[in-house]
Amino acid sequence: MTEKEIATLLLQNALATQRADAEDYTEANSDPSLKALGNATIANSLEKLGGHGIVADVQPTFGEHGMGFVYRVSPKLVDELSSEELVASLVNGLFDGPRSETSSTLAALLENCGRATINQVYHDDLLASIKELRICFAQECYIACLALAGKILEICLKQVLIDNKIEFDDKWMIGRLLAQFKEANVERYLDQSLPDIANIINKSRISAVHSKEKIPVPSRDQAAMVIHAVVDTVNRVIVSPGR
């Protein structure tokens, strides 16, 4: 069994346990295939998962299956990792070599946004979208990257309008939100390239939901460019709104 397979099995077992009882711990050795590997191997995998914030707590135990470990994964992952594909994407990201600059930037952004004050209407949606964006970029799903980047940008623009007590329709998309921002003469700096970024995003998003249209598949560089522009906007609006 490879390191990736061990980590995947540990994570899947814990998710199943915590979906049945959110407060319960998983005994690693209750799975015969894991017990056969030995506690040292299990400990190494749990340590790696813990270092990435996936495993939240590990305790030694001496129970029905002998000496070993019980553990819990981060509670937020129980809902977020709703399919085997999402579990695989998360684990693959740990073992597929060094992260790209874009992936590292998104990881830092997610951490910073977790500490920032965000309007409660959009709080969970923003964090989930950043996390999914990081996964999609790592898996080279660039059409999905642009769709998520657009969603994140919309949340930022709505936050700016809320901060400045400017009315808007929650159904508005990027272009209308940018127009409202411009019309209101808000004294808040936003990157001048955002209208161009919005056009790139909208061209991909609109085509992606109409079967008769050919979807323009963005390159990795195009996706990275859009992502970094959106990250800059999130940092200015959400993380450090005073700068």
In terms of Cα–Cα distance, which of 68, 66, 46, 42 is closest to 57? 46
Instruction: Report pLDDT for 243.
Output: 55
Instruction: Report pLDDT for 210.
Output: 46
What is the three-class DSSP state of 116?
coil
Show pLDDT as tens, one digit a residue, over the chain (243 residues): 888 899 999 999 999 999 999 999 999 999 999 999 999 999 999 998 998 889 999 999 987 888 999 999 999 899 888 888 888 878 887 776 555 688 888 888 888 888 887 777 888 889 999 989 988 888 888 888 999 999 999 998 998 888 888 888 888 888 888 888 888 887 777 777 788 888 888 777 655 444 555 666 788 888 898 899 899 989 988 888 765
Spatial separation of the C-alpha atoms in residues 126 and 155, rounded to whole Å: 7
Instruction: Report pLDDT for 5.
Output: 92
In terms of Cα–Cα distance, which of 182, 203, 181, 118 is closest to 152? 118
What is the three-class DSSP state of 196?
helix
> Which tokens belong to 191?
């990157």
Q: Are 137 and 103 a contacting pair, CB within 8 Å?
A: yes
Instruction: Report pLDDT for 22.
Output: 92
Q: Are 57 and 71 a contacting pair, CB within 8 Å?
A: yes
